[in-house]
Each structure stands twice: as C-alpha cells, then as structure tokens.
Structure 1
Amino acid sequence: MIDRRTLLAAAALGALPGLATAQPAWPSRAVRMVVPFPPGGSNDVLGRALSERLGAQLGQPFVVENRGGAGGAIGADQVAKSAPDGYTLLFMSSSLTTNAAVQRLPYDPVADFTPIAQAAVAPMIVTVGRDSPARTMADLVRIARERPGMLRFGGAGPGDTSFFATELLKMAANLDMEAVAYRGITEAQTDAAAGRIDLVVTTLASARGLIEAGQLRLLATASAARDARMPDVPTVREATGIDFVTGVWWGVFAPARLPPALTATINAAINRAMAEPQYQRVLEAGGASMAALAPDAFAAHVRSEVTRWTDVARRAGVALN
C-alpha cells in the first residue's frame, strides 16, 4: 500500500501513471495571430486568409492583431517575448530577416523564434503612379539615370522587404534613388498612386486593388520568367536586360522553445489550411503560390536569408541603425 506522503511525492514528480495532468489538445482557446504591419498589405491579406481557414478547421478563433511599425519589428518583438504555448503566433514576410540586416533589434530573428511553416512565396513587382512619365520599365530606368538622386521610392522602413528589393534593383541597374520610410507598404503605395513618391517595389497581393483601380501602373515583375497570372507583364530582365530577380516569402512563427510536437501539430494544420480552395484563391489573386516547408527546412531557409540580406546591406552601404 502507498501511504499519503509517498503518493504526494510521486504525484509531484509525475512518477505514477495516470497522476500527471494531461495537457489539453491545441487549440483549446483563441489563438492570437500577430501581423506586424498595418491592415491592407500582403502580410495582412494573407495572414487573415490563413487565420480564417485555421479557425474554420480547428474550431477556435484565430484573431488577427495588427501591430505595425519599424518594418515589422514592433510586432515581432511582442511575439518573441510571449509564452511559447502556441497561442501567440507571428505571420510575417521575409522582412523578419531583412530587418536584421539594418536594425539593432530587441530580438534575434533566428534564436528568438520557432519557424513553423512557410505560407506562400511571390515575385516582387515594380509599380509607379498612374501619372508617372514612366510608361514602361525601360522608361523608369532611363528617367532614374537622367535624374540621379531625384527619384524617391517607398517601403515600410529600412528593413522592409520592399526596401531591400529596391536596393537590389539599384545595384543591378546602377541607379541612385532616395528611400522614403512608411509605417506600412499600403501607405507607400498610396503615396506612389498620388505622385508623392516615384515608385514602389512591392507584391501583387499588396498592390492589386490600386492596380485594378488604375491608380498604380504595373511595369514589370522581378521573376525569372513571365508569370502565367500576368502574361502581359514583362520581367525586368526582359524589359531592360537588367538581371533583377527577387521575391518574398511569408511564414508563421512562434516564440522560441515551442515544443517540437506542438510545432509539428501547427505545421500540419497550416499545411491543411493552405491546401483549401479558399486560401488558394487568395494566393492566386495576390500573385503568390503555396510553398510548404517542414519546420526544420523553414528554419534553415530563415538562417540563409539572414546571411543573404546582411550581405546585400553591406554591399549597398546601408548602415546598421
């Protein structure tokens, strides 16, 4: 017979079968999905679409919370400091890695997060306002060369994916243009449409509404070949001969030290949600594609991206702030 003292000690150590408290299946309550940019941009569009499918699949609400600022660093920091229990997640683009190349961040993009799943990939696109004198990509390059230092481009802060893509374009084409920082890409696109800045290198997911409304003009894609969804839009390479190929990815992250079993569970749920027709339609509308990765493969990709963009910042002469 086990006396009361032995029973209590064993229970505290979890030594007796059946005495340890079982953890409830995830999710047993609402999940917070932090999107570290204002509403309207690609992070918000795709993050909301994925959250809706996850909520419908799992029977718990996935509440999108927009925490914009500092190129996504404010919202990302909030998630990094949260409990690794699966109830606070981050939906963020490759800005997570580009930020690290130019900002002294309160978190480490590799050590302070658990990469769970890659949610989508897409090529970048080059856009100008409807009243821009640049009717083609070749026009834009010519004007930029004729007016060195005069053209202004927008992005969501110096660590934003759009900012880095434009820096790549500047290096590839030997252009001198001035950066203008915004809280989010939506504000930059609005200013480009109004003629307050000259161009935005962005994603179709972010800019589609303004393009379809005739407010922004889509000049070219930064893909290796024409996108079947935009067959009339040339690539930058095709239009100018400039070797400019770059894209963006989006993914879901948790704070560091998320248990591996829970990481695998959430990864599987996200992969199921991404395969649903409703999410596929959002990807299609945004010029994006599904590109599922296992957690380990996604983590390796994130590490390689930090190295890549740090090198781009060094070559572009962008100082660490």
Structure 2
Amino acid sequence: MHKRFFLRAIAATLAAIGLHIPLAQAGEADNFPSKTVRIVVPVAAGGSADKLTRTLADKLSQLWGQAVVVENVAGASGTIGAAKVAKAPADGYTLLQQGEGLTLNAILFPELPYDSRAFAPVIKAVVNPQILVVNPGTGIRTFAEYLARAKAKPDSISLGLPGNGGIAHVAHEIITQETGAKVNYIPYAGGGPATLDVLGGHTNATLITLAAVTEYVRSGKLVALAVTTPYRSPALPDVPTMAEAGLPGFSVESWQGYFTPAGTPQPIVDKINRDIQTVLKAPDVRAKLEDMGFKVAGGPPAELAASLQTERPKYALAIKTAGISLR
C-alpha cells in the first residue's frame, strides 16, 4: 500500500510540472513478470537459436520465479513467428528471438506480415561465426577441396540452408561471387532440420551457426571446413577461418538477440535487458554458451538499435550484388 501511494505521489508531482509518466509504467517493471513469459523462436527446434533461447529461458525462469516458455514458430524465413509477436500485447510477456534475419527479411521481402517498426530492441545476446560443414561421406576434408569440387562440377554439392535468404545464404553467395564455386541450395525451416539431413547423408553440406553443430564436429559426425569470421572459434580452435583457407578478407559474423512488440514500456524493456545480462554473465551460463561456440555480447537496447541501423546498408549491398531473391 505504501509503495503504491508513493508511486501515485511521484506521478502527481511529475504531472504538476508538465511531465506525464503513466502510473502503470512507473511501477509495473518492479512486479514484472507476474505470469508466464513466452519467447517465440521463429525457426524449427534443434538449431542454435533454439539452444540459446532454451538455455536462457531456464535461467530466467529461476530468476523470475515464473515459467518462461519457448515456442518454435517456423516458416517463411522467420516472418511467421515474427508476425505472431508483432500482434502480441506490448507488455513484455511475449518476446521474439531474432538476429540479422530481421534485417535481411526487411530487405528481401517485398511485403511483410508486420510493420518494419513492429519491434523494440531488447538485447544482442551473443555473436557467433557461421561454419561450413560436410558429411564425412563426401570425401571433402578442406575448404580448398570444397571450392575445387564446386567449381569443377557446379551444383554437384547439395547445401542445406537454415532458412532461405538468411545469413548463411548471403555468406555463401558472397563465396560464390568471389570464387565461382556454385552449389545446389536446399532451403530448410531452420538449422535443426538442415543439420539432420547432412548427418543422414541426404544433403552434402550446410553453412550454419557454429553453435548448432559443435558437438557433431567434435564427435566426427561432421567435417568442419572453415568459419566465416576473421577469428577462429575457441570452441573449435583447429577449424581455420575462410580468410586463412583461401578467401583473404572474408568476414561474416551473425548474432542472436531479443525483441518485444513496439510500444512495450521502456522500464519493462530495460528490466528484461538487465535480467538477461545477469543470466549471460553467470559463470555456468557463459561457459556453456562459449563451449557451444557462442560469444557472449550484451549491452543496452540502444546498442542493438544502432547495430540494426549499421548492418542494413551492408547486407542490402551484398544481396543486390549477389542477386539473392526469394522469388
């Protein structure tokens, strides 16, 4: 009672001097969350985005004392899941997991089932390399061998894409443009199913977030050829960068973050940001994510907003130059 009276007094004082902050916004962040929080992952279960989100959801549930449910809503390069979050109440109880795909979709799709300003950035949680892996049965053991085969026999290598028009697609199109190595793209609804088909020998290769396949590379079930970042991953330190393996200057880094529907009160956005950072900084969580191949990021919502602005012209140019289209 005393707390609510105090908040009303603050709101009344601010209103008297010409500033209006809704009472609900002034105090609701203190009690957030008071019910189940849902995180929509717009790709199929089993991929890196799903693994990351389930790790965070488990710890957030413990921190908040409320259930945090992960819901996979795959399809249409992530736009179906994103549209679901865009239509949700702007109260912080529905979050969207997304990365650079949010920017790529805005470039590639002539029309989207949501407004381009439908989401409020919360946090860039991790950054990570993409990694090129092949089924051991292909006989390919190095990035140079991969390029040689793809150039000598165009389309003879089937490459599963964890999403048509995603960062892996963009990255490989840049490889094709720089080397002439052409492969047969097979799009999937996410990294999980794309990986399963390479493991089963139904496709030859995939270019995917490193964290999605770390365990398979370590066990020998997949052969890692190179990573897309200018640095090697501590999770797989023996895997060279593409720059080291034959493409000087090549660099593509992807990321995973979280958003709320636009209009979510800033105090709630800030609280979610702080709490996710608390989870990311926990030694056991950081160690687990880094072992998977992620690099923990963090930072305030404004940093993610700035990142979105910076990467759009870069990817728009790459898509235009490579001629990538969803049609």
Deviation of 1:128 after TM superposition, in Å, equals: 0.5
Deviation of 1:15 after TM superposition, in Å, equals: 6.4
Aligned equivalent of 2:300, options 294, 311, 314: 294
Provide the C-alpha distance between the structure 2 equivalents of 1:259 and 1:223, rounded to a whole number of angstroms: 36
Q: Which amino acid is the alignment partner of residue 231 of structure 1?
A: P
Instruction: Say whether residues 1:223 and 2:244 are aligned partners.
Output: no
Identity rate, percent: 34
Change (3 A) 1:100 1:179: farther
Q: State whether residues 103 and 312 of structure 2, in contact with CA within 8 Å, keep that contact through their aligned partners in structure 1.
A: yes
Q: Which amino acid is the alignment partner of residue 205 of structure 1?
A: A
Unaligned runs of 5+ in 2: 1-7, 15-22
Provide the C-alpha distance between the structure 2 equivalents of 1:192 and 1:145, rounded to a whole number of angstroms: 21
Provide the C-alpha distance between the structure 2 equivalents of 1:245 and 1:68, rounded to a whole number of angstroms: 28
After TM superposition, the structure 1 = structure 2 runs for residues 99-178 of structure 1, keeping only pairs within 5 Å, are 99-103=105-109, 104-109=111-116, 111-178=117-184
Provide the C-alpha distance between the structure 1 equivalents of 2:326 and 2:233, rounded to a whole number of angstroms: 35
Q: Give a deviation string over 1:197-233, Cα, whole Å, max 9, x none.
A: 2321112211123323422111111121333332221
Instruction: Say whether residues 1:273 and 2:279 are aligned partners.
Output: yes
Matched residue SS, 1:195:
coil
Aligned equivalent of 1:264, options 254, 262, 270: 270
Q: State whether residues 172 and 244 of structure 1, in contact with CA within 8 Å, keep that contact through their aligned partners in structure 2.
A: no
Matched residue SS, 1:123:
strand
Q: State whether residues 165 and 324 of structure 2, in contact with CA within 8 Å, keep that contact through their aligned partners in structure 1.
A: no
Aligned equivalent of 2:85, options 79, 90, 104: 79
Change (3 A) 1:213 1:230: closer
Provide the C-alpha distance between the structure 1 equivalents of 2:227 and 2:78, rounded to a whole number of angstroms: 24
Deviation of 1:317 after TM superposition, in Å, equals: 1.0
Deviation of 1:31 after TM superposition, in Å, equals: 0.5
Change (3 A) 1:130 1:72: same
Provide the C-alpha distance between the structure 2 equivalents of 1:99 and 1:32, rounded to a whole number of angstroms: 23
Q: State whether residues 154 and 163 of structure 1, in contact with CA within 8 Å, keep that contact through their aligned partners in structure 2.
A: no
Q: Which amino acid is the alignment partner of residue 160 of structure 1?
A: G
Q: Which amino acid is the alignment partner of residue 222 of structure 2?
A: L
Q: Which amino acid is the alignment partner of residue 107 of structure 1?
A: Y
After TM superposition, the structure 1 = structure 2 runs for residues 1-321 of structure 1, keeping only pairs within 5 Å, are 23=28, 25-103=31-109, 104-109=111-116, 111-319=117-325, 321=327
* Alignment RMSD: 2.2
Provide the C-alpha distance between the structure 1 equivalents of 2:325 and 2:236, rounded to a whole number of angstroms: 36
Structure-2 residue corresponding to 1:3: none
More displaced 10-residue stretch of structure 1: 150-159 or 120-129: 150-159
Q: Which amino acid is the alignment partner of residue 106 of structure 1?
A: P
Matched residue SS, 1:121:
strand
Structure-2 residue corresponding to 1:8: none
Provide the C-alpha distance between the structure 1 equivalents of 2:247 and 2:307, rounded to a whole number of angstroms: 29
Structure-2 residue corresponding to 1:7: none
Count, aligned residues: 306
More displaced 10-residue stretch of structure 1: 291-300 or 306-315: 306-315
Q: State whether residues 54 and 270 of structure 1, in contact with CA within 8 Å, keep that contact through their aligned partners in structure 2.
A: yes
Unaligned runs of 5+ in 1: 1-10
Provide the C-alpha distance between the structure 2 equivalents of 1:226 and 1:61, rounded to a whole number of angstroms: 36
Q: Which amino acid is the alignment partner of residue 284 of structure 1?
A: E
